[in-house]
Amino acid sequence: MMTTWRHLPRYLVTRRGASSSACAGAVNFVPTSRSIEPSDLERIQAFVSRARCLFVITGAGLSTESGIPDYRSEGVGLYARTDRRPMQHVEFLRSAKSRQRYWARNYMGWPQFSSHKPNSAHLALRDWEAQGKVHWLVTQNVDALHSKAGHQRLTELHGCTHRVVCLGCGVLTPREDLQRRFTEMNPGWAAEAGSVAPDGDVFLEDEQVLHFRVPSCQSCGGILKPEVTFFGDSVNRSTVQFVHERLDESDAVLVAGSSLQVYSAYRFLLAASEKLIPVAILNIGATRADHMAELRVSARCGEVLPAIQPC
Ligand SMILES: [Zn+2]
């Protein structure tokens, strides 16, 4: 049985002009950016200082500095580097084969993906919360890094890969438990599956996937799915309503590390704009809501957020 994994393009490892945040020897998933201008830092500091109830929206750009690639960044995002595309909701529901392939890869990538740690941007936002600056934080990320950092006032808009939901009875279980069940049901399988790429990606031959056994819910026998909103699915209505209420209580919006291309988060910018709540955007590259922002800063979250005094 032959197993291969996709090698990363050489330019990614030796890419010139990469941001200085890359650790030695690590693959850099942070797009190139210049250091923040002192005048921009002053302006974003003034914006945060003015806010009494800050509403924060974060996206993949916050986690690239923890070694998790995003989808869309030029040159370094998954879309640019690989032919890998996110799982579609409908495909997961209707095809046992797709679920088998998904879980086999997920099983292989999990030890690495689950070991990522919050970076200085997550920790800064956690401190802002502790000091009463952040009223609510909404993240599009499913990597649990805000909760690992200790953030409490948090909505994970697209769910979290660290939880598994049963599509039959709705019971939630920790992803770690499922990993143990995978290992028990597939003895020796992982050893044959070979290596995992630095971003947790793993390419498996069809024949190998066929031998991977996927457990079902221990309560009802239902299909297990990560508690994550796949592409093509929509965010739970009550979650959206809850977040709108937190936004209504806020007096400023800060977007950090998101291009806001996905409507599920963009809708809160539309609402903020309608209510004339001031918006600041910190992101490398253009965003869908640039025209709504009174302040727009293109720099790394890990450089800027820890440099701001919340009070
Ligand atoms: Zn169940």
Domain of residue 255, CATH code: 3.40.50.1220
Report the pLDDT value the prediction gives residue 27, as an integer from 0 to 100.
Answer: 53
- 134 half-sphere exposure, CB direction, 13 A CA radius: 26
Report the pLDDT value the prediction gives residue 7, as an integer from 0 to 100.
Answer: 34
Residue 254's nearest CA partner among 280, 275, 276 is 280
Report the pLDDT value the prediction gives residue 72, as an integer from 0 to 100.
Answer: 63
Record the pTM.
0.85
Domain shared by 178 and 288, yes or no: no
The dihedral built from the CA positions of residue 138, 143, 149 and 150, taken in this order, carries a sign that is: positive
Q: How far is the CA of 118 from the centre of ligand 1 (A)?
A: 32
Q: How many helices (H) and strands (E) does the chain have?
A: 14, 9
Report the pLDDT value the prediction gives residue 202, as an integer from 0 to 100.
Answer: 72
Tell me whether strands 54-58 and 134-139 are parallel, antiparallel or unpaired. Answer: parallel
- The answer to whether residue 142 is domain-embedded is yes
143 labeled binding residue: yes
Report the pLDDT value the prediction gives residue 1, as an integer from 0 to 100.
Answer: 34
79 labeled binding residue: yes
166 labeled binding residue: yes
188 labeled binding residue: no
Q: How far is the CA of 178 from the centre of ligand 1 (A)?
A: 13
Domain shared by 243 and 301, yes or no: yes
pLDDT < 50 stretches in the chain: 1-26
Domain shared by 178 and 303, yes or no: no
Domain shared by 154 and 287, yes or no: yes
Range of the domain at 174: 82-115+165-227
Residues 6+ apart with CB under 8 A from 138: 55, 56, 57, 58, 154, 155, 157, 243, 246, 265, 268
Domain shared by 311 and 195, yes or no: no
140 labeled binding residue: yes
Report the pLDDT value the prediction gives residue 38, as an integer from 0 to 100.
Answer: 92
Q: How far is the CA of 102 from the centre of ligand 1 (A)?
A: 19
Report the pLDDT value the prediction gives residue 184, as an integer from 0 to 100.
Answer: 96
Q: How far is the CA of 224 from the centre of ligand 1 (A)?
A: 8
67 labeled binding residue: yes
Paired tokens of 240: 């959206």
Domains in the chain, number: 2
Q: How many CB atoms lie within 10 A of CB 107?
A: 22
Report the pLDDT value the prediction gives residue 16, as an integer from 0 to 100.
Answer: 28
- The answer to whether residue 55 is domain-embedded is yes
Annotation says 158 is catalytic: yes
**Residue after which a domain boundary falls, among 174, 203, 227:** 227
Domain shared by 188 and 287, yes or no: no
Q: Point out the catalytic residue in the list 122, 146, 151, 158.
A: 158
Q: How far is the CA of 223 from the centre of ligand 1 (A)?
A: 7
- The answer to whether residue 185 is domain-embedded is yes
- CA 82, CA 232: separation in Å to the nearest integer? 21
Q: How far is the CA of 170 from the centre of ligand 1 (A)?
A: 6
- CA 202, CA 194: separation in Å to the nearest integer? 9
Residue 86's nearest CA partner among 102, 62, 104 is 102
248 labeled binding residue: no
- The answer to whether residue 144 is domain-embedded is yes
- CA 55, CA 302: separation in Å to the nearest integer? 18
Report the pLDDT value the prediction gives residue 112, as an integer from 0 to 100.
Answer: 86
Domain shared by 175 and 110, yes or no: yes
Q: How far is the CA of 88 from the centre of ligand 1 (A)?
A: 21
Residues 6+ apart with CB under 8 A from 170: none
